[in-house]
Amino acid sequence: MLELEKREIILQGIEAVIKDMENRYSFIELEGGSLNLIYVRYKKAYQIIKEHKEDDSVIYINGGIRAYLDSYSDWDNPLLGKMGDVEKLYDKYVMKHPKTK
């Protein structure tokens, strides 16, 4: 289970990505294609972590940058930096690492 401080840090990062997407793209754009896939995954991740269920649920946010770039090739979009920050936080605080023998 995440410590409160770490939980708040990652929630803030995820929320920043969601808000950026909602401000940058129309509702119609967020309802289809790669944007929808990324948007839905971040919304689900936010809910899972907010409800303290990260140990029981699978969170799919890694790979969002690649999915975005495969569709849009917009390397200068500031959204990518925010997504990268969240992926690093996710890897550091949430992702389950295999147990070593």
pTM reported for the whole predicted model: 0.87
∠2-7-77 over CA atoms, to 5°?
130
pLDDT value at position 86?
A: 95
Residues 6+ apart with CB under 8 A from 49: 2, 7, 10, 11, 14, 59, 94
53-95: per-residue pLDDT in tens? 988 788 889 899 999 999 988 999 999 999 999 999 998 888 7
With cut-offs at 50, 70 and 90, classify the pLDDT of residue 14: very high
Rounded Cα distance between 77 and 43, Å, is: 20
pLDDT value at position 98?
A: 45
Residue 101 has pLDDT above 90, yes or no: no
